[in-house]
Amino acid sequence: MSNLGNYIEIILGGTPKTDRVDYWNGNIPWASVIDFGDHKTIYETEKTITESGLMNSNTKLLQAGDVIISARGTVGKVLVCGRNMAFNQSCYGLRTKDPNKLDQGYLFYLMKDTISYLLQKAVGGVFDTIIKSTLENVPVSLPSISQQVKISSTLSAYDDLIENNLRRIALLEESARLLYKEWFVRLRFPGYEHTRIINGVPEGWKSRPLSELTDYINRGIAPDYDDEAEGIVINQKCVRNGRIDLSLGRHQSRQFSSVRQVRVGDVLVNSTGEGTLGRVAQLKTPVENCTVDTHITLVRPKAELGIHYFGLAMMAWEPRFSCMGRGATNQTELSRSAIMETEIIIPPNSLVREFEVFEDPIYREISNLNLQNSRSKNARDLLLPCLMSGEIAV
């Protein structure tokens, strides 16, 4: 038995030395805990930094293949860098000192296997934090390099399938958005050649506020966090790129009314603070014992509305929602009343039904791929500790 610090280099993240605007929005990914999601390899990040910003920062550039672990706030999430990238002080980069003693691919799964240990050792008041010495002192007993490679390859087969399905999901989602854009933004819907346009809107289409189109609009609950509880609460980190990433949700034990249980077709709108304000995503698959927290507004369409049309119409509002907040910096709020007053264009029912016929197979396939990923994750997570402990030989 030895300590992990004997085998790895721990690379510290940092920040630019000033808050200069010209240091941001460059071509270098800038990773932080908000970029950790339900995937293995990270290629893109929410923020990017310029070359001059990197030069004037106290961080180093991670290389493709390096492991990155979240160390503050949302701790214990692990990813592999798919390309060179910088990262902030909420993360650590991990790189093997000697590939002949510790395989870099195996290191990723070794860190996944030690998450519970790291969580127990996390310190801090407001934010849980993994300190550098905790990582260095993780006890490890390494198998031979050949065994490490076999274990990594076995587990990677599951992750490769998951990543491939995620790419397929992204393509399907893009096709759904493109059809919406073609029909309802470019107005190239079936029969458009014979439809009059009046004040920029096809004849028969009506603008209606969400207050008339929904059965429920409200903020979520103040959760009682409990890692052992069965309940799940969705927070603002879960809503990104039009998707809901439940891996970033938290378990909680507070009871809530049935009306607050999220349902298929519900639209979630991030409603507090800068950065994530106004993000929109729609729940496409059922999740038991799940609700949203107080920083998210849950918007539930009436049963007679096509849920795919409604969800895509709401997502089209995301750029405007992000600018509708009121209040001081970091306390900006997107109010329930502002969302209720938001108007979307409603085409004739026949056209919405025709659109839903095209969209349904797309989202059924997305649901099937999500189910495959869930099963693959469960199988991988059951297999991982058995392989790492030597209980199952490869």
DSSP per residue over 218-249, as a string?
Answer: EE-B---B-TT-SEEEE-GGGEETTEE-GGG-
Question: What pLDDT, in 10s, does the model give residues 346-369?
Answer: 999 999 999 999 999 999 999 999
Question: What pLDDT, in 10s, does the model give residues 6-46?
Answer: 999 999 998 887 778 889 999 999 999 888 877 899 999 98
More confident residue, 33 or 185: 185
Task: Name which of 43, 84, 82 is nearest 62 in CA terms.
Answer: 84
Look at residue 328 and tell me whether its pLDDT is greater than 80.
Answer: no
Q: Can you read off the two tokens belonging to residue 251? A: 């378990």
Rounded mean pLDDT of the chain? 93
Confidence of residue 329 (pLDDT cuts 50, 70, 90): low
Give per-residue burial for 158-183: e unless 16+ CB within 10 Å, then b: bbebbbebbeebeebbeebeebbeeb
Confidence of residue 313 (pLDDT cuts 50, 70, 90): very high
Cα–Cα distances in angstroms (integers) from residue 147 to residues 82, 94, 95, 99, 138, in the given order: 24, 21, 19, 13, 20
Evaluate whether 186 touches 178 at the Cβ level (below 8 Å): no
Question: What pLDDT, in 10s, does the model give residues 117-159?
Answer: 998 988 876 678 999 999 999 999 999 999 999 999 999 999 9
Question: What pLDDT, in 10s, does the model give residues 231-247?
Answer: 999 999 899 889 998 88
Q: What is the pLDDT of residue 125?
A: 65
Look at residue 164 and tell me whether its pLDDT is greater than 90.
Answer: yes
Q: What is the pLDDT of residue 241?
A: 87
Question: What pLDDT, in 10s, does the model give residues 54-101?
Answer: 888 888 899 999 999 999 877 889 999 999 999 999 999 999 999 999
Helix (H, G, I), strand (E, B) or coil at 288: coil
Q: What is the pLDDT of residue 60?
A: 84
What whole-number percentage of the chain has pLDDT above 70? 99
Q: What is the pLDDT of residue 127?
A: 76
Question: What pLDDT, in 10s, does the model give residues 251-288?
Answer: 999 999 999 999 999 999 999 987 789 999 999 989 99
Residue ranges of domains in the chain, CATH in brackets: 2-142 (3.90.220.20), 143-191+347-394 (1.10.287), 206-346 (3.90.220.20)
At 367, phi and psi to the nearest 5?
Answer: -60, -40
Q: What is the pLDDT of residue 126?
A: 66
Look at residue 52 and tell me whether its pLDDT is greater than 80.
Answer: yes
Q: What is the dihedral of CA 352, 355, 357, 361, to 10 degrees?
A: -140
Rg of the chain (C-alpha set): 23
Q: What is the pLDDT of residue 18?
A: 75
Q: What is the pLDDT of residue 391?
A: 93
